[in-house]
Structure 1
Amino acid sequence: MTEELRCVGCGAVIQTEDKNKIGYTPKSVLEKGVETGEIYCQRCFRLRHYNEIQDVSLTDDDFLGLLNEIGQNNALIVNVVDIFDFNGSLIPSLHRFVGDNPVLLVGNKVDVLPKSLKRTKLKQWMKEQAHEKGLRPIDVLLTSAQKSEELDTLLEMIEKYRNERDVYIVGVTNVGKSTLVNQIINQTAEIQNLITTSKFPGTTLDKIEIPLEDGHSLIDTPGIIHHHQMAHYLGAKDLQIIAPQKEIKPKTYQLNPGQTLFLGGLARFDFIQGEKSSFTAYVSNDLLVHRTKLEKADQFYEKHVGELLQPPRKDEIDDFPELVGFEFSIKEKTDIVFAGLGWITVNDPGVVRGWAPKGVDVITRKALI
């Protein structure tokens, strides 16, 4: 029986197969570590040498244990969600675990939203959606892990609400949580009264504690896997395509009833009934949108998915879920939201249908723009 090797930083069992899981170390690095007698997982190595936190995922059971711990401590909870996948990036049942602890809800990636979108409208919608899920955030904040000026407001909010308590930062995978934490560390390294980053007292298997000046900690937790995220059906290259990197440029289409728009091969929008009208797609600038006739849409998808319609790529379509349709009767200007991709604004009354991979949400909301 092979002896288990463990990371000297966090105690995780070393493995070389999956870089997204706890304990990952590249094989070449492991061999050197065995020679020196000091084996660090990649996460601890980067934390130790670069003050950089990498996201890892926990199993559902592991994360439930962590949530129980949060509920038993007196702390501020900072829940980071993805503005483009709000429902898919909410932690299921978080409200049952936080106890009396306040929750600050942080919508990440605000920098890529069109400037015409009213931030107050978006924050109100996020608050309403959170309430529907049983979560009562003490405040809602929009931020960007990529823009330092947005971080100042986040840090002020954390100080305002933490009241000399620990701060737990939680979120599902792929919401940009670790990028946000790294920005916090870089931004506050020279601020005397906030986060001290000169040394970390050590990491644990399930979280990283960043000491605060008053003896409390900002605690970064691993991302939980939410099984209904669009991101889980895609590879790293395709994630770059669907996740907007720059401000979205809206694409407007004049459609007659009986026409269909494909968002790559990931989603589909059918205009079933109504007067000729304009429809505006708010998706990543790199995601190609194709128009076709509704009556031929099924055959068009079957023929072109993985090639003209991608992502997904041709070698991924065998594992890609079937698209499932949701029909809506529209009375007023409405957004059809494809979780993880963006949305299409329907300007006039009519009947439409939105399609997404099985398990991924298509929902409506009053138009934000």
Structure 2
Amino acid sequence: MTRFEQHQEEAGSCAGCGVTLQTESQQKPGYIPEAAKSRTPVICQRCFRIKNYNEAATVTIDQNEFLKLLGGIAATDSLVIHIVDLFDFEGSLISGLQRFVGNNPVLLVVNKVDLLPKATNMNRLRNWVQKQAKAQGLRTVDVVLCSAKRNIGFDHVVEALERYRKGRDVYVVGATNVGKSTLINRLIRDYSDLDNELTTSRYPGTTLDEVRIPLDDGKAIIDMPGIVYPHRMTELVPKQVLQAILPEKILKPLVFQLNERQTLFFGSLARFDFVEGERQSFTIYLTDGLKVHRTKLERADELYAEHRGELLAPPSKAELDEMPAWTRHSLRVPRGSSNDVFISGLGWIQVNGTSGALIDIYVAKGVKVLLRDSLI
């Protein structure tokens, strides 16, 4: 038994997600059958099912509990690693993080850079990240670009951790589905002699309580539960749709030349209306699991009514009924600017022209939609 497993067993908590173990109710977090308590490592039934069957349980932790745990960091002397998802940067950035962590230094780790085209200028990207983070009120000691899954830039993460940790504990924070546990598993393998791995899956809320991973110097890496942000498309779609919208490989941009009063549908998850402006091109950065359909603006309502959940899919009609109704966001792209139309959890549309445009976005109510400086 490793020191990590011994620590979790003594604490009576799951070695996968950190939740307190219990044998009374299958519907509550931390359930474990009596017969499974002798296994090593000891993990709850939910983690067992995720690890072995990639099956999601419906157990969730109240958002107030997440914030309460996060707020405890301010009273510590620690290094805080904030992991964000580059594909969903504005949706996964904890803009109010500073008030939770106090004066502790924040290292911003931007994960999933492997999704961008290989010709992407990393120095420009890093500058873009710094500017966006500052605009959101986040003070950082450094920014590191990486892909934990593809082992890109991970040596820089380890170097930065060593540079800024200075013998302290390390808290790892982030929204759900940003690759937090994947990154910590890499740290476990590269930074300590522990052989246990945290539970990782595509499903939000995988980590249910803080998980402490002891280090050789007596300190620890603490994996915090993921913050669940309902403004992200990934939190609103049915579980079976996640695979279609979460990218696994390099994004293949789609370029559309549009006249004003033309519409693009992204499955049945979003609608893009080019309401007003000179003919120009738009570059779409989405997963290839989401098909794009073009039509005239005057036919858009009819097309959606007739083909939602069928030609325009995913989701299916039944899955759409589980989601909030669409709401409209009107965005004015200034003349002479370089902008993206960002849809949290779904991707972004780069506006390539500089003549300005009026754009309407229709998406499930609550999903964050905004105009930002172009990422690429």
Instruction: Please indicate the TM-score interval, normalised by the length of the shorter structure.
Output: 0.7 to 0.9
Q: Distance between the aligned counterparts of 1:45 and 1:245, measured in 2? A: 23
Q: Which amino acid letter does the alignment assign opposite residue 197 of structure 1?
A: L
Q: Which residue is equivalent to 2:295? A: 292
Specify the alignment match of 1:338 in structure 2: 343
Corresponding residue number in structure 2 for 1:319: 322
CA shift at 1:239, angstroms?
1.3
Alignment of 1:273-312 (within 5 A): 273-312=276-315
Q: Distance in 2 between matches of 1:35 and 1:57?
A: 26
**CA distance in 1 between partners of 2:37 and 2:212 (Å):** 27
Quote the offset at 1:145 in angstroms.
2.3
User: Is 1:262 aligned to 2:265, yes or no?
Assistant: yes
Partners of 1:198 and 1:319 in 2: CA distance: 40
Residue-by-residue CA offset, 1:94-113 (whole Å, 9 max, x unaligned): 21111110111112111111
What does 1:26-175 align with in structure 2 at a 5 Å threshold? 30=33, 32-33=35-36, 40-42=43-45, 58-91=61-94, 93-175=96-178
Q: Is the 8 A contact 1:257 1:272 kept in 2?
A: yes
4+ runs deviating over 6 angstroms: 43-47
Q: Does the alignment pair 1:356 with 2:363?
A: yes
Letter of the aligned partner of 1:173 in structure 2? T
Q: Deviations over 1:261-318 (max 9, x none)?
A: 1111111111111222221111112211110111121222222221222222221112
The DSSP-based 3-state class of the residue aligned with 1:32 is helix
Which whole-Å CA distance do the structure 2 matches of 1:231 and 1:41 have between them?
A: 24
User: 1:10-37: CA deviations, max 9, x gaps?
Assistant: 53334434xxx73145xxxx2634899x
Task: Give, in angstroms, the shift of residue 333 of structure 1.
Answer: 3.0
State the aligned residue count. 341
- 1:262/1:213 CA distance change after superposition, 3 Å: same
Q: Please give the secondary structure, in 1, of the residue aligned with 2:161.
A: helix
Matching residue within 6, 10, 26 for 1:16:
26
How far, CA to CA, are the matches of 1:76 and 1:284 in structure 2?
A: 34
* Partner amino acid, structure 1, of 2:72: E
Measured at CA, do residues 363 and 34 of structure 1 come closer, stay the same or move farther in structure 2, by a change above 3 Å? closer
Cα deviation for residue 40 of structure 1 reads 4.5
- Tell me how far apart the structure 2 counterparts of residues 146 and 292 of structure 1 sit (CA, whole Å): 37
Shift of 1:129: 2.7
The CA distance in 2 between the partners of 1:199 and 1:264, in whole Å, is 40
Residues 46, 210 of structure 1: CA spacing in aligned structure 2 closer, same or farther, 3 A cutoff?
farther
Structure 1 match to 2:202:
none
Q: Which runs of 5+ in 2 are unaligned?
A: 1-10, 15-19, 198-206
Per the TM alignment, residue 356 of structure 1 is displaced from its structure 2 partner at its CA by 2.3
Find the aligned partners of 1:23 and 1:272 in 2 and give their Cα distance.
51
- In structure 1, C-alpha distance between the alignment counterparts of 2:79 and 2:99, rounded to whole Å: 15
Q: For residues 345 and 33 of structure 1, do their structure 2 counterparts lie closer, same or farther at Cα, with a shift above 3 Å needed?
A: closer
Deviation, structure 1 residue 224: 2.1
Aligned to 1:177: 180
User: What is the identity, as a one-letter code, of the residue corresponding to 1:16?
Assistant: Q
RMSD, aligned CA: 2.9
Structure 2: how far apart are the matches of 1:217 and 1:137? 21
Q: Percent identity?
A: 46
Change (3 A) 1:278 1:139: same
- Distance (whole Å) between structure 1 residues aligned to residue 332 and residue 345 of structure 2: 23
Tell me the TM-score normalised to structure 2 length.
0.82
Conserved 8 A contact 2:231-2:344: no
Change (3 A) 1:34 1:86: closer
Structure 1 residue matching 2:341: 3-state secondary structure: strand
State yes or no: 1:236 paired with 2:246. Answer: no
SS for the counterpart of 2:342 is: strand
TM-score by length of 1: 0.83
Which of 217, 223, 226 is 2:220 aligned to?
A: 217
Contact 1:81 1:108 in 2 (8 A): yes
Per the alignment, do residues 278 and 39 of structure 1 end up closer, same or farther by CA in structure 2, a change over 3 Å counting?
closer
**Aligned-partner SS, 1:160:** helix
Give the conservation status (yes or no) of the 8 Å contact 1:230–1:340.
Answer: yes
User: How far apart are the structure 2 equivalents of 1:40 and 1:138?
Assistant: 36
Answer whether contact 1:75 1:167 (CA < 8 A) is retained: yes
SS in structure 1 of the partner of residue 310 of structure 2: coil
Indicate conservation of the 8 Å contact 1:195/1:210, yes or no.
no
SS class of match (2:159): helix
1:123 Cα offset (Å):
2.6
Question: How far apart, in 2, do the equivalents of 1:86 and 1:245 lie?
Answer: 16
